[in-house]
C-alpha cells in the first residue's frame, strides 16, 4: 500500500485540493435542503437570504472549524506518537483533554456565568494537567514510559473529579455531555478567529519539527550520538503537540480518536518519514473530521450527534479494518 | 523541505483570507429586522417553539407556531404536522433559520450552548425557564410581554395560582415532613426544594427533609443513604419515577420491600408512601401543575 516518492507528493497535494473541495461541497448538505443554485448565490451575493444564513453562517464556518480541529488533533497525535515511541499515544495521554474537561465541566455545571471565558480556562486546565504529567515523568530527563504512566495516573485522578461533578450536578449534566463528547454545533465565526491563529502557529511549528521527530525514531542512543539533546527535543515536540490539542479542546471539547487514527493511516500510506506523514496527517485529519462532522449534523435528521461520538463509533471499526488488512 | 515551505505559504495565505473575512462580517446589517416586528400585527409573528413545556403553554394561549420541537411527549393537536426543529437539548438551528422566525423560544437550560450562535444568525430568542414553578410563572409572564399577550398570560398565571390556593384549603398548622425520592432506573436521589417537584411540595406547605442534608449545595437532586432517611424519619415518602418508568417502579418496590431499613420508617408503617404520576409531575415545570397541587393536597391534607 505504500507509495513511491513522487506519488507521495502527488497524494498530499491532491488530498489538499480534495479537502478544499469538500469544505465547499459539504455546504450543500444539511438538514435543510437547498438547491445548488441557492448555495452558489449564497456565496456570491450579499443579499441576506435564508440560504445565505444557512450556508455562510452555519455550514461554512462549521466546515472550516472541522478542518482546523481535525488538522490540529492529527498533528498533535503524530507528534506525541513520535515522542512516546508508542503507537497508542494520543493527545489524551498527556492529561490535556481531561484537564481541560474538569475545568470546562466545573464552569458549565457550577459557574455558568464564566461560560464566556470557558476556552481560556479550559486551556489553562489542560496546560496545568499536562504540566503535572511531565513534571511527574521528569527524572534525569524524560522517558516515554514515565509520561504514559504519569498520564494514566493524572487522567484517572481528574476523571474522578469529572465523575464527582457529574453526580453532584446531575440535573445539568446534559449540557456538559456535549462538551465531553466534542461538538461543533453552535460554533460561530468568532470561534474560528479564535482558533485560527493558534492553529497556524502550531501547524507551522510542527513542520519545523520534522527532522527532530525523525531523529527520535532512531532511538535514544543514535539520537544522542547525532548530537541531539533527547530530553529537550522530546519536551519541545510535546509542547507543540499539547499546545495544538489544548487550544482545540478548549474550543470544541473532547474529540477522541482523530489523534490516534490519522497518524496510523498516514504511516500506512506514507511510510515512517515525518517529512511526508506530518503534512499528510494535517490534510487527512482535516478531511476525516470534516466528513465526521458532516455525518454528525446530517445522519440524525434534526437531532445533532456530537462529532466525538461519530469519530469513535465510525472511526473505531474503520481503524480495526485497516489494521487487519495491513496484517499488522 | 520544499513541501514544508509550500505548506507554510498556503497556511499563511489561508490565514490572510481568514482575516479579511473577519473584517467583513460585522459590517453587514442583519439584526435590525428583528426590532421592527414590535409594530407588526400580532398574528404575523412567526414563532418557533423549541421545548415541549413552552409548546404546551403556547397551545394553552392559543398562539400559532411555525415550528415545534421533536418529541415523543404529547403536544397540542393543532401543532401536529408542523416542521420539527430537533430535540430541546440540541435544536437544529439550520431548520430554525429556514423557518425565518421572529421569535425562537427555547429552554433556558440550553441558553449557554446556543445564545452566541443565535445572536450571530440574527434570530431573536426567548429563553424559557422550567426549573421551578416560580420561574415557570415568571417565564410565562415574560413571554406574554415578549409576544404582546399580557392579558392572556396573566389570566393563565392567575388560574395556576388559584389551583394552588384551592389545594391548600384544608392546610393545618402542622407542616408535613416529606422525603421525595426521585428514581431513574436503579439510581435513586432525594429531590430538594430546588427541584420542580420539591418546589410544588414546598408550596403545598411541606417541609422537605432534604433541606437538612443539602449543605448549601443548591442542587435539585441529592445522593442519599438510607441512614439519613432513617435519621430524619419523614411523615411522608413521595416516590417519583423518571426515565424508564415501569422498571423504576419495580426497583422502587424492590428497594422498599426487601430492605428492612425502609420497613422501619414510620411513613412505611403508616402507609404514607405515595407514588407520584410522572406524567403529571415531570422534572420540568409544566401546565399540569394544578393537577399536581390537587394530588399533593389530597396526600397531605386529605382534601
Instruction: Please give the average per-residue pLDDT across A48-75, as a whole number.
Output: 91
Q: How far is A37 from chain B (nearest CA, A)?
A: 16
Q: Which range (A227-236, A269-278, B4-13) has the least confidence?
A: B4-13
Instruction: Report the gap between the CA of B53 and the closest CA in chain A (Å).
Output: 17
pLDDT > 80? residue B183: yes
Count of pairs with CB atoms under 8 A, one residue in A, one in B: 116
Among residues A61, A65, A72, A35, the alpha carbon closest in space to that of A50 is found at A35
Q: What is the pLDDT of residue A183?
A: 84
Nearest CA distance, A14 vs chain B (angstrom): 13
pLDDT band at A31 (very low <50, low <70, confident <90, very high): confident
Q: Residues with Cβ < 8 Å from A67, sequence gap 6 or more?
A: A19, A23, A286, A287, A289, A290
What is the value of pTM for the model shown?
Answer: 0.80
- The three three-digit cell numbers of residue A86, written as one number: 508508542
What DSSP element (H or E) covers B56?
helix B52-60
Closest to B97 (Cβ–Cβ): which among A9, A50, A275? A50
Strand partners, B187: B184
Lowest mean pLDDT among A170-179, B50-59, B169-178, B253-262: A170-179
To test the contact with chain A by mutation, choose from B92, B102, B132, B220 the residue with the greatest count of A C-beta atoms within 10 A, namely B92
Which of A1-15, A122-136, B21-35 comes out lowest in average pLDDT?
B21-35
What pLDDT digit, counting tens, does each position of B243-295 carry? Answer: 777 888 888 888 888 888 888 888 888 888 888 888 888 888 889 899 999 99
Between B212 and B133, name the one with better pLDDT: B133
CA-based nearest residue in chain B for residue A179: B113
**B1, B3, B217: which to substitute to probe chain A, counting the most A Cβ within 10 Å?**
B3
Q: Which of B12, B122, B217 sits opposite A200 (nearest CB)?
A: B12
Query: CB–CB of B28 and A188 under 8 A?
Result: no
How far, in Å, CA of B195 to CA of A308, rounded? 31
Which domains does chain B carry?
Answer: 42-165 (3.40.50.1980), 173-301 (3.40.50.1980)
Provide mean pLDDT across the span A159-171. Answer: 85
Whether the predicted pLDDT of A178 surpasses 70: yes
Q: Is B84 helix (H, G, I), strand (E, B) or coil?
A: strand
Report the chain B residue with the minimal C-alpha distance to residue A276: B3
Using the 8-state DSSP alphabet, how is residue B67 labeled? B
Residue B98: list chain A partners with CB under 8 A: 32, 50, 54
B21 — pLDDT class (breaks 50, 70, 90) = very low
Nearest CA in chain A to B131: A171
pLDDT at position B124: 93
pLDDT of res. B42: 54
Quick one: what percent of chain B has pLDDT higher than 90? 31
Whether B15 has a pLDDT exceeding 50, the answer reads no
Query: All domains of chain A, ordered by start, with CATH?
Result: 5-326 (1.10.3470.10)
> What band does B114 get if pLDDT is binned at 50, 70 and 90?
confident
DSSP string, B224-277: --HHHHHHH--SEEEEEEESSHHHHHHHHHHHHHH-HHHHTSHHHHTT-EEEEP
pLDDT above 90: residue A209: yes
A118: closest chain B residue by CA: B112
- A304–B92 CB contact, under 8 Å: yes
Question: Considering only alpha carbons, which residue of chain B is nearest residue A192?
Answer: B18
- Which among B4, B84, B195 has CB closest to A302? B84
CB contact under 8 A, B15 and A59: no
Question: Which own/partner pairs from A15-24 qualify as long-range (CB within 8 Å, at least 24 positions apart)?
Answer: A15/A280, A15/A283, A15/A284, A15/A287, A16/A283, A16/B10, A18/A287, A19/A67, A19/A283, A19/A286, A19/A287, A19/A290, A22/A63, A22/A287, A22/A290, A22/A291, A23/A60, A23/A63, A23/A64, A23/A67, A23/A290, A24/A63
- Give the model's pLDDT for residue A171: 72
Name B251's Cβ contacts closer than 8 Å, sequence gap at least 6: B183, B185, B186, B188
Complex prediction ipTM? 0.77
Q: A60 contacts in B (CB within 8 Å)?
A: none
Nearest to B8 among A169, A190, A207 (CB): A207
Of the candidate ranges A158-167, B138-147, B195-204, B237-246, the one whose mean pLDDT is the lowest: B237-246
pLDDT in tens, A308-322: 888 888 888 877 887
Predicted local distance difference test score (pLDDT) of residue B17: 38
How many angstroms separate the CA of residue B12 from the nearest CA in chain A? 7
Please tell me which residue of chain A has the smallest CA distance to B29. Answer: A48
- Has residue A246 got a pLDDT over 70? yes
pLDDT mean over A211-221: 88
- Mutant choice from B7, B115, B180 vs A, greatest count of A C-beta within 10 A: B7
Chain A residues whose beta carbon lies within 8 Å of the beta carbon of residue B85: 302
Averaged pLDDT, B100-105 = 93
Q: Name, in order, each residue with C-beta under 8 angstroms of B180's C-beta and a sequence gap of 6 or more.
A: B190, B191, B195, B197, B198, B201, B208, B210, B237, B238, B239, B240
Contact A168 B219 (CB under 8 A): yes
Mean pLDDT of chain B, nearest integer: 81
| Predicted local distance difference test score (pLDDT) of residue B292 | 92
pLDDT at B36: 44
Contact B92 A303 (CB under 8 A): yes
Q: Please state, in angstroms and rounded to a whole number, the distance separating the CA atoms of residues B166 and B146.
A: 30
pLDDT at A150: 92
Amino acid at each position: 500500500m505504500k507509495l513511491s516518492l513522487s506519488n507521495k507528493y502527488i497524494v498530499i497535494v491532491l488530498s489538499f485540493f480534495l479537502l478544499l473541495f469538500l469544505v465547499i461541497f459539504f455546504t450543500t448538505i444539511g438538514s435543510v435542503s437547498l438547491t445548488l443554485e441557492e448555495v452558489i448565490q449564497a456565496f456570491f451575493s450579499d443579499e441576506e437570504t435564508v440560504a445565505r444564513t444557512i450556508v455562510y453562517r452555519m455550514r461554512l464556518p462549521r466546515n472550516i472549524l472541522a478542518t482546523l480541529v481535525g488538522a490540529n488533533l492529527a498533528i498533535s497525535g503524530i507528534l506525541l506518537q513520535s515522542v512516546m515511541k508508542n503507537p497508542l499515544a494520543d493527545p489524551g495521554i498527556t492529561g490535556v483533554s481531561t484537564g481541560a474537561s474538569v475545568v470546562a465541566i466545573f464552569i458549565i455545571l457550577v459557574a455558568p456565568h464564566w461560560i464566556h471565558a470557558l476556552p481560556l480556562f479550559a486551556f489553562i486546565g489542560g496546560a496545568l494537567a499536562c504540566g503535572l504529567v511531565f513534571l511527574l515523568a521528569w527524572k534525569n530527563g524524560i522517558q516515554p514510559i514515565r509520561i504514559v504512566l504519569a498520564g494514566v495516573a493524572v487522567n484517572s485522578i481528574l476523571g474522578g473529579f469529572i465523575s464527582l461533578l457529574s453526580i453532584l450536578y446531575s440535573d445539568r449534566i446534559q449540557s456538559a455531555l456535549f462538551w465531553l463528547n466534542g461538538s461543533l454545533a453552535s460554533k460561530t465565526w468568532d470561534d474560528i478567529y479564535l482558533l485560527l491563529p493558534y492553529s497556524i502557529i502550531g501547524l507551522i511549528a510542527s513542520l519545523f519539527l520534522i527532522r527532530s521527530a525523525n531523529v527520535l525514531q532512531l532511538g535514544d542512543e543514535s539520537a544522542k550520538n547525532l548530537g541531539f539533546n533527547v530530553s529537550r527535543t522530546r519536551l519541545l515536540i510535546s509542547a507543540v503537540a499539547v499546545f495544538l490539542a489544548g487550544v482545540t479542546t478548549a474550543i470544541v471539547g473532547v474529540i477522541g480518536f482523530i489523534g490516534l487514527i490519522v497518524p496510523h493511516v498516514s504511516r500506512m500510506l506514507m511510510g515512517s518519514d515525518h517529512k511526508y506523514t506530518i503534512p499528510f496527517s494535517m490534510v487527512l485529519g482535516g478531511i476525516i473530521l470534516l466528513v465526521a462532522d458532516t455525518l454528525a449534523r446530517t445522519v440524525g435528521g434534526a437531532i445533532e450527534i456530537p462529532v466525538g461520538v461519530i469519530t469513535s463509533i465510525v472511526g473505531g471499526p474503520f481503524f480495526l479494518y485497516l489494521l487487519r488488512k495491513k496484517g499488522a | 523541505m520544499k513541501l514544508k515551505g509550500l505548506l507554510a505559504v498556503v497556511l499563511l495565505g489561508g490565514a490572510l483570507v481568514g482575516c479579511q473575512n473577519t473584517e467583513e462580517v460585522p459590517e453587514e446589517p442583519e439584526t435590525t429586522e428583528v426590532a421592527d416586528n414590535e409594530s407588526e400585527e400580532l398574528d404575523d409573528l412567526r414563532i418557533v417553539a423549541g421545548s415541549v413545556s413552552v409548546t404546551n403553554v403556547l397551545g394553552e394561549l392559543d398562539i400559532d407556531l411555525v415550528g415545534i420541537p421533536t418529541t415523543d411527549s404529547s403536544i397540542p393537536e393543532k401543532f401536529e404536522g408542523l416542521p420539527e426543529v430537533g430535540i430541546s437539548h440540541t435544536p437544529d438551528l439550520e431548520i430554525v433559520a429556514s423557518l425565518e422566525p421572529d421569535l425562537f423560544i427555547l429552554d433556558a437550560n440550553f441558553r449557554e450552548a446556543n445564545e452566541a450562535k443565535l445572536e450571530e444568525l440574527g434570530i431573536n430568542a426567548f429563553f424559557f425557564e422550567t426549573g421551578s414553578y416560580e420561574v415557570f410563572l415568571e417565564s410565562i409572564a415574560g413571554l406574554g410581554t415578549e409576544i404582546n399577550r399580557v392579558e392572556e398570560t396573566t389570566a393563565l398565571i392567575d388560574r395556576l395560582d388559584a389551583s394552588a390556593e384551592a389545594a391548600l384549603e384544608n392546610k393545618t398548622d402542622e407542616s408535613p415532613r416529606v422525603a421525595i425520592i426521585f428514581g431513574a432506573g436503579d439510581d435513586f436521589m432525594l429531590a430538594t426544594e430546588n427541584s420542580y417537584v420539591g418546589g410544588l411540595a414546598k408550596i403545598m406547605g411541606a417541609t422537605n427533609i432534604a433541606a437538612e442534608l443539602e449543605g448549601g449545595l443548591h442542587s435539585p437532586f441529592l445522593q442519599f443513604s438510607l441512614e439519613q432517611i432513617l435519621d430524619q424519619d419523614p411523615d411522608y415518602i413521595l416516590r417519583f419515577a423518571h426515565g424508564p418508568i415501569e422498571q423504576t417502579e419495580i426497583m422502587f418496590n424492590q428497594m422498599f420491600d426487601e430492605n428492612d431499613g425502609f420497613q422501619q420508617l414510620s411513613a412505611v408503617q403508616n402507609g404514607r408512601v405515595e407514588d407520584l404520576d410522572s406524567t403529571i409531575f415531570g422534572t420540568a415545570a409544566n401546565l399540569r401543575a394544578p393537577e399536581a397541587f390537587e394530588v399533593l393536597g389530597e396526600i397531605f391534607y386529605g382534601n
